[in-house]
């Protein structure tokens, strides 16, 4: 079974939601070099040995469903009866008229209804296995997709910081020129150098984070090249919440729970049929040498005379198991509905915050950078104000990136 990831990822939160409802997510990846979300998910599924094991278990359950419908194998019986043991004729087969060599066939005949119910139970196990296989497949796609998305944050963060490094290096060069010309003090040069160093350290931090994310992704698809550049996935629009809630009925965990309930119902019907005894038939042929050969036919029928402590108990146990499976299915539905609703609301909230950042936070911060830079060039501002404004803009851009990813 798989569970939701607790980390929300802004608009990219579409991926775990689509996995939740059981839809197949395919990202539109651009042609050319790079690492796409769709390719990562495909490779993760192809290289997941657990999926092969689950598929084999499903195949085994299908085979057992066919076997359970058949009659048990007949038994070939060979023996000697009434052989003398303590007289002059002891251990001799041809000296006593009662001695006989026998060969026979015995066949058990379980009721056809029982065999059919056992076959149905095995078929439902196969169906539950298929649902679990689907759940693990979707979970693998989800986890590999989230590992891929973990590359995007340090990748884009490094790009933002690198752009700031370029601007900081230009500012350093300008401060050094102004210092040599006697227009500015040495403090501006030192501040500019410190700003470049801080940004370079931030870039190194993102590089370290990116390397760790590549190792994590390698758990799903194998080694990831150090220069791999993740492509930005093209995400489909998210359906309304009511649509997603309706789709929970197709969630792999829900399908597996339904099969468990169905199997418990079949097993309860099978327990009730235990009141109807099966029977055995045995046919023997006895060879007696100089005497007449004998043929015997026997029919054995179990007598359920202790039903109160056997069959009735089995029926009660099957009833309790059915109640348990139904309760677990209801609990699963409530949990999935609550998690989906909660994550959907958080996703909406993140969307609102992203729009707010783009509309009301970043524009004035960018304008502040331009204003402080103009004031510094005009001789009315300070270099510290320029650095502060750029740092504030970078912090806001990184915060927006965090909301997206």
pLDDT for the residue numbered 326: 95
- Phi–psi pair at 290, nearest 5 degrees: -75, 0
pLDDT for the residue numbered 6: 37
Find the mean pLDDT for residues 251-265.
90
In the predicted model, is pLDDT for residue 4 greater than 60?
no
pLDDT for the residue numbered 32: 33
Q: Which pLDDT tens digit goes with each residue over 99-155?
A: 888 899 999 988 888 889 889 888 988 888 888 888 889 889 989 989 998 888 898
Q: Which of 158-167, 217-226, 242-251, 340-349 has the lowest mean pLDDT?
A: 217-226
Write the CB contacts of 237 (distance below 8 Å, at least 6 apart in sequence): none
- The whole-angstrom separation of Cα 133 and Cα 136 is 5
In the predicted model, is pLDDT for residue 1 greater than 60?
no
pLDDT for the residue numbered 360: 92
pTM of the model: 0.70
Cβ of 250: how many Cβ atoms within 10 Å? 12
Q: Which of 3-17, 118-132, 160-174, 302-316 has the lowest mean pLDDT?
A: 3-17
- The whole-angstrom separation of Cα 288 and Cα 102 is 9
Find the mean pLDDT for residues 235-255.
89
Can you say how many angstroms the Cα of residue 384 is from the centroid of all Cα atoms in its chain?
51
pLDDT for the residue numbered 14: 41
Buried b (16+ CB within 10 A) or exposed e, 282-307: bebebebeeeeeeeeeeeeeeeeeee
pLDDT for the residue numbered 306: 81
Confidence band, pLDDT 50/70/90 cuts, at residue 305: confident
Find the mean pLDDT for residues 316-343.
94
- Tell me the pLDDT of the chain averaged across its residues: 84
pLDDT for the residue numbered 363: 93
Decide: helix, strand or coil at residue 283: strand
In the predicted model, is pLDDT for residue 369 greater than 70?
yes
pLDDT for the residue numbered 5: 37
């Amino acid at each position: 079974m798989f569970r939701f990831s607790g980390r929300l990822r802004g608009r990219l939160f579409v991926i775990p939601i689509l996995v939740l409802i059981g839809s197949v997510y395919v990202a539109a990846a651009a042609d050319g070099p790079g690492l796409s979300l769709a390719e990562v998910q495909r490779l993760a599924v192809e290289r997941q040995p657990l999926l092969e094991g689950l598929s084999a278990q499903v195949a085994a359950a299908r085979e057992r469903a066919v076997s359970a419908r058949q009659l048990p194998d007949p038994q070939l019986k060979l023996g000697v009866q009434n052989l003398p043991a303590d007289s002059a004729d002891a251990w001799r087969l041809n000296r006593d008229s009662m001695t006989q060599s026998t060969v026979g066939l015995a066949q058990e005949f379980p009721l056809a209804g029982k065999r059919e119910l056992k076959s149905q139970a095995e078929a439902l196990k196969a169906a539950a296995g298929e649902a679990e296989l689907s759940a693990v497949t979707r979970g693998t796609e989800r986890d590999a997709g989230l590992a891929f998305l973990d590359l995007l944050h340090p990748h884009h963060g490094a790009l933002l910081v690198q752009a700031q490094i370029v601007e900081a290096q230009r500012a350093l060069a300008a401060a050094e020129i102004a210092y040599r010309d006697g227009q500015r003090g040495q403090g501006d040069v030192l501040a500019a150098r410190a700003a470049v160093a801080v940004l370079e350290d931030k870039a190194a931090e993102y590089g370290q984070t990116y390397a760790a994310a590549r190792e994590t992704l390698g758990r799903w698809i194998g080694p990831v090249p150090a220069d791999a550049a993740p492509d930005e996935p093209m995400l489909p629009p998210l359906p309304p919440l009511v649509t997603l809630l309706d789709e929970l009925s197709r969630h792999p965990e829900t399908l597996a729970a339904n099969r468990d309930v169905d199997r418990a119902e079949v097993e309860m019907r099978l327990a009730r049929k235990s009141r109807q005894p099966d029977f055995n038939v045995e046919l023997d042929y006895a060879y007696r040498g100089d005497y007449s050969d004998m043929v015997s036919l026997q029919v054995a029928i179990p007598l359920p005379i202790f039903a109160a402590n056997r069959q009735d108990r089995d029926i009660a146990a099957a009833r309790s198991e059915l109640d348990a499976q139904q309760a677990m299915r209801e609990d699963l539905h409530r949990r999935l509905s609550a998690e989906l609703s909660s994550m959907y609301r958080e996703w909406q909230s993140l969307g609102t915050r992203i729009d707010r950042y783009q509309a009301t936070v970043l524009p004035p911060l960018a304008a502040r950078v331009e204003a402080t830079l103009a004031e510094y060039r005009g001789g009315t501002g300070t270099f510290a104000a320029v650095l502060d404004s750029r740092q504030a803009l970078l912090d806001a851009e990184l915060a927006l990136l965090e909301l997206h990813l």
